[in-house]
A and B are shown apart, each in its own frame.
Chain A
């Protein structure tokens, strides 16, 4: 009996030498329990060693092997072949500039991260800093982010349009600091003005693709939007905040 095979279609392009991208077909023997990364690595090891891929831990924790698998941004190491069938198309993340084949340049992410005001402790806190574990629950969820960039790739604002929007991954980063119980900075106004938070239209695709199941939209983006409304659009909230600030100064 012939062994079962997978039909793998991989997008190939070396921007330095190729005019445009093309899909190439490969046949890979199926092994029970294999993931897409196994199949792609088989091609690299046995069929075409010039295929460029990026991967590291193969345990869905390093966030290196992000790709578009059958039209959905996924981690190659977390996507089992038996869940998607034997005809598989793998492309690099289109939201990022291509380096070669399945490898993209994600360095822009670090540039954006550097722009967001870092964790800044509240003034006049007694040392040592003490935190009730229950208080860090909100910001702890965002610490699960493995920075794989899948949310950035699926976000239609980042992918399709020219906007100043930082992207969901960075809103999560900012929210993790904003909701930290000892942080003294409110980044929502900055995110709205400089980070293009208003361009997000809450379509929740980022939440759908997050391999760490972070509730990106409900727990990071919407709360940041509401905080920005407090500071920029809601006259009553602005008045209350203004009075409180004055009271603090008078004390």
Chain B
């Protein structure tokens, strides 16, 4: 049956899953391989200097603190959902299955799932998300500085500047719609109007961040895609393509 007794937990589960088995699977290692290759290529084909005033978001100063940025994304609740589903298949989707591999009815079956430790084993590290968030907030001003540089470079507002503004906006929205920030700003308060230690302003902040937080997953993926697109765009500009179109002079 689905609910298990303490004895079942002890005998069937707890001992074998301290190190998640999925970390030994090909699907995980193929992902690691692609990631390592991508990081290697970023170092080999680095774009460390601004091109026509445009600084590649990957190198400002993200490349220096890549583990922090990667850690922020890897421990984010939005990405956790996606990689637990699509990388580790725990579960693949929400539909439920009552057939075994041979196609026979398997209900109410034995538990057939692979060993699983969720976020109790090595994934307990995901609880450090808040420290990565602090780092992300510290990095954020650099994006705004790059915006200033891009606009001040020739006193022109170009397509590249517009893309950098959008990129900075997505990153800011992603950072401040974070579940931890929602918790920090007011989620950890239960009584905002209690006579002792009144915190009504925190309720307002909490409600506003909750609205943003509803779109956190969207911000997470758009900001990531934006990073790659802006990187490609700036590489195109560096290669001499006439795509940094002048929109107006400042």
Which A residues are closer than 8 A to B by beta carbons?
A: 11, 13, 20-23, 68, 71-73, 91-92, 94-98, 108, 132, 134-135, 138-139, 152-154, 156-165, 178-183, 196, 198-205, 208-209, 218, 222-223, 225-227, 229-230, 232-234
Contact = CB atoms under 8 A, between A and B. Distances in A.
A137 B233 CA distance: 46
Contact of B81 (A96, A196, A202): A202
Given A205-B91, A223-B187, A162 B12 contact: yes
12 contacts: A21-B108, A71-B98, A72-B95, A96-B2, A97-B108, A134-B203, A160-B111, A162-B12, A201-B81, A203-B85, A205-B94, A226-B188
Which secondary structure dominates where chain A touches chain B? mixed
Contact of A202 (B2, B84, B191): B84
Given A179-B190, A201-B119, A162 B96 contact: no
A170 to B, nearest CB: 11
Given A11-B107, A201-B80, A233-B127, A157 B118 contact: yes
B81 A71 contact: no
B74 to A, nearest CB: 13
B37 interface: no
Contacts of B116: 157, 160-161, 163, 199
B77 A222 contact: yes
8 nearest CB pairs, A to B? A160-B113, A181-B191, A199-B118, A132-B193, A205-B94, A198-B120, A156-B91, A162-B13
Interface residues of B, number: 53
B18 interface: no
Nearest to A182: B191
A238 to B, nearest CB: 12
Contacts, number: 167
B165 to A, nearest CB: 29
Contacts of B183: 222-223, 226-227
A236 B228 CA distance: 35
Contacts of B120: 196, 198-199
Nearest to A164: B9
Interface in B188-232: 188, 190-194, 203, 213-214
Most interface-central of A138, A232, A234 (chain B CB within 10 A)? A138
A98 B128 contact: no
B1 interface: yes
Interface in B80-119: 80-81, 84-85, 90-91, 93-98, 105, 107-109, 111-113, 115-119
Interface string B57-89: 000000000000000000001001100110000
Contact of B123 (A156, A201, A233): A201
Contacts of A96: 1-3, 108
A233 B128 contact: yes
A73 B111 CA distance: 18
A165 B4 CA distance: 9
B191 A160 contact: no
B2 A134 contact: no
Contact of A158 (B3, B6, B93): B3
Contacts of B91: 156, 160, 203, 205
Interface in B152-205: 179-180, 183, 187-188, 190-194, 203
B118 A21 contact: no
A199 B1 contact: no
B124 interface: yes
Nearest to A158: B2
B96 A159 contact: yes
A158 B120 CA distance: 15
Contacts of A135: 190-194, 203
Contacts of B180: 226
A221 B118 CA distance: 14
Contact of B96 (A23, A71, A179): A71
Given A205-B91, A205-B94, A227-B188, A181 B194 contact: yes
B202 to A, nearest CB: 11
Nearest to A153: B96
Contacts of A139: 190
Contacts of B194: 135, 181
Given A91-B98, A158-B3, A198-B120, A98 B108 contact: yes
Contact of A21 (B96, B105, B124): B105
B3 A108 contact: yes
